Structures are given as C-alpha cells and as structure tokens.
Amino acid sequence: MGSIIRYYRTKLGIKQYELAGDVCSPAHLCKIENNPNEGNDETINLLLEKLGIDLEKELQKESNLKYTYEEFVNNIRFVNIDQAQRQFNTLKNNQVFIELMEFHNHYQIMLIPFYIITEQFKELEDQRNLCNKISKSFNKDESILFEMVKGLYYIHKSNYRKAKIILLDTFKKVNVANVPYRGDMDYALALCYYNLNEYERALNSTIFAYRYYQNEDNFQKIGYCLAVLADSYKNLNLKEEAEITYKKLIRTSEMLGNNKLLNKALYEYGLLQKNKVILEETLTLFDLSLEKNNCDVSIQLELILSKIDLMMKNNINKDKIQKYIQYIKKLSVQIEDRTYYFLALYYEYKIEKPSQVNHFIENKLIPFLEKSDCSSKLIIYYKELADHYESIDLKKSLYYLKKCMHKNNEYSNLAHII
C-alpha cells in the first residue's frame, strides 16, 4: 500500500510532512512509501483515511488488474489476438497502477511478444529498448523470461543463429523442468533449427513443444507445431510422415479456422501427391474452404492462387485455370487491389505467353511488388529470374539471387512466426 499512498499523495499535491502530521514522522512515512514491509495496519489505515482512499476499492482494483494481466499473458500464448488487444487496452488505461504492482516488470517483458503477434513493430523496438534499460531490476524468473523473449525477438528478425545461442544458453542456466513456458522455449528453438536447416533437431524440439501444448490444450500452437513437423519431414524426404502430418494440419487448421495454415497445408500436401485421385480430392478441399470463407475476399484470392499454382505444377485442366485467372482479375478490380491482378497476369503469361513470362516478371511484376506492401511475395520471382538467367547471363543471375537471399532473411514462412 506504500506505493498507493505515494501515488495519491503526489497526485493531490500533499507534502510528506503534511500527510504524516499526527500519524507518524515524515521519515517513517518515507519508509512506508518506499518499503512494502514498513508500517503497521493502524498507521496505513490512518494515512489512507487522510487521503480519502477506500481501501476495499483499491484492493479490488488491484485484484481486477492482476486477473486481467493473467488473461493477457494467456491470450498472448494461445494466440488469441483480439482478446489480448482488449486486455492490453485495459492495462494501458491503468498504466500508473501497473507500475505500482509486483508484476510490472513481467508486464513490460510480455509486451514484446504482444507487439510481435499484433505486428506493432515500432512499439516493439521501443519496448525492447526499454526492457534492455530496466533489465538490471529483473529478478531471476524475470531475467529467464526476458532471455526467452529476446530469442523470440531475434526469430522475428530472422536472426536464427543469435536466437538459437540465446535460447540454448538460457536452458543451460536453469533447471529445465522449471523453465517457465517450457513449450514456448522448445517451439522457439525448433524454429531456429528449422530455419538453419537442422531438420532432425527441429523435429525433436517440435515434438517436445507439441506434447506440452497438447497437455494445456493450446490448439493454435499445436497447429504451428504440425506445420514445422510436416515441413521438417518433407525436407528430410520422409514423404509418408510428411503426408500424415499435413493431413493432421489440414484437419486442425479447419477446426481452428486458421486459413493461413489451411492454405499452406493444402498446398504442400498437394505438392507431395503423385496419385491423381488424391490430388483431385485435395483440389476439391480448396473449393470447400472457399465456400466457408466466401465473405473474406483476401482469403478467397489467396486460396485460388494456391490452387492455380498447384494445378499448374501438375498440368491439370488449363481451361479451368483460365477461369480462375479471369475470376481473380475481375474480383481484384472490384476491390481495387492491383496486387492480385498482377499475380493473376503472371499465371496468364505462363499459360498463353510462356516465352514472355520472364520479361513480364522483370519489367512489370517485380517493380510493382517492390513498391507495394506485398514485398514478401518477391522471393519466388527473384528466384525464378535467377534460375532463368543462370545459363545466359551469370551477372544478372547473381544479382537476383542476392536479392532473393536478402528478402529471404527479411521474411519467414508465415506459419512459422509467432
């Protein structure tokens, strides 16, 4: 209560000697305000009474804020973004009181993953700098949490080597059984291994995280783990395990309504299929997903583009592909989004004018994407031009390969970032 007394005394413009009066000495009041163990109940109550503070209301406010903060942390970990945002708004409106409470350092640390999942990147950098400044005031548990969060920060920055070093070092410093948010640590480490092409280690860490998330019914994170598992199996040429895991990912992402994961799972599962019947069934699942999301235009367009790409790679029904292309062009004009129009044109060139597709990529598509907010899509087109020029213009090939590598370091697979 000392912090509460100091807050209201300062707010009301009352000097320490004025409040102390006949209750206690100014020196004793100073100790009460700065040391939670100072002051007996009688003295505290008299000081609160002089300030006009309702003790029950203050205790209830503290209890409510503690509960809100606990829910805020859970919703960050369970990737419930809308709910986390609402709780953040409540906590932000009570920032003064948060600073008086025992969890204030924990709160400052947890704002870093919150800003990552809500894509508030300017706030993220400011918060990271703040936490670095106040890190000397962290207790042991807060320091461990901050190390883990720093690992997540560097994963967000695609600096997987640095993130891996931080996370492994954190594991060495503590009793592994008592690591807070152990599943999150394992999952973060799995992301590092996966993006550093250490797929066997990625599998092991992801399996630990997967079991942890199963025990706490963290279904969104289970879906993310399945994505890493499936991709790791695929990169280790374990086709059967990859297929089984992608099928699990399809079911899980449908249940969660996570359309980014579903789109990825359908596409990757389709690429693995050589059996025409199974491939046609997979393409049908794209249509079912479209029916479920007929109100979300961006999801519709992403699903159709993925389906077109899958059909193109397997030479399936070019007439139907043309219909999809025309549908995307028409819809993108209606919603005034030129990005999807250009991406549809790319596939149109591949079908109707294959000899001109690289000219279109280099002179139309890439310049447009570089100016737009969708520059993360550039990687595949840089790579396509690098491959095209490899045998005819090595200098140009290296130029686009460098751009591809730079962009690849800037962006990561959406299914692998939290």
Q: Quick one: average pLDDT of 169-193?
A: 84
The residue with tokens 């505290």 is 44
Q: Quick one: average pLDDT of 386-413?
A: 80
Query: Residue 375: is its pLDDT beyond 90?
Result: no
Domains of the chain: 2-53 (1.10.260.40), 278-352 (no CATH), 364-418 (no CATH)
Give pTM, 2 decimals.
Answer: 0.78
Neighbours of 35 (CB within 10 A): 10
Kindly report the average pLDDT of the chain as a whole number. 87
Q: Quick one: average pLDDT of 5-31?
A: 79
pLDDT band at 166 (very low <50, low <70, confident <90, very high): very high
Q: Quick one: average pLDDT of 67-83?
A: 94
Least confident among 16-25, 362-371, 380-389: 16-25
pLDDT band at 416 (very low <50, low <70, confident <90, very high): very low
pLDDT for 411: 47
pLDDT in tens, 241-259: 999 999 999 999 999 988 8
pLDDT for 412: 44
pLDDT for 410: 53
pLDDT in tens, 27-42: 887 887 777 666 677 8
Query: Residue 13: is its pLDDT beyond 90?
Result: no
pLDDT for 335: 87
Q: Quick one: average pLDDT of 161-189?
A: 86
Q: Quick one: average pLDDT of 334-351?
A: 92
**Helix (H), strand (E), coil (C) string for 310-365:** HHHHCCCCHHHHHHHHHHHHHHHHHCCCHHHHHHHHHHHHHHHCHHHHHHHHHHHH
